[in-house]
Amino acid sequence: MFLTYEDMKMDTPKYLRRLAKFLGYPFTEEEEAKGIVEDIVSLCSFDNLSEVNKHGSLSIGIPDYAFFREGKVGDWRKHLTTEMSEMLDQITKEKFDGLDLVLTD
């Protein structure tokens, strides 16, 4: 199963449901009725998870702020050079060669 960040951002509940089904744990009708999907989306939102950034660093010395940026589509352009982007594109192309998968910017 392939999910893109852009798709997840566009319709998070839809892709959360697909992911749960793919993993063999689809949401039950009762869970759907109780709003469990929406609760998970809220708990996993960047607004909620970015709170991690405010609490120090991991025991191995990696600062928490290293894990989250802005959670915006295309934000990678602020952090990767053209050379880095091209290198990642080449690696991705090699690793996914032969798959019916279209990757876009």
**What DSSP letter does each residue of 14-55 carry, written as one string?**
HHHHHHHHHTT-PPPHHHHHHTHHHHHHHHTSHHHHGGGGGS
CA angle 6, 46, 16 (to 5 degrees): 55
- Tens digits of per-residue pLDDT, 38-88? 999 998 887 777 766 666 555 666 766 666 666 677 777 888 888 998 998
The residue that leads in pLDDT, 105 or 63, is 63
- The rounded percent of the chain whose pLDDT value lies above 90 is 34
Distance CA 63, CA 59 (A): 9
* Mean pLDDT, all residues of the chain: 83
CB–CB of 71/5 below 8 Å? no
pTM: 0.64
Q: What residues does each domain of the chain span?
A: 5-71, 74-105
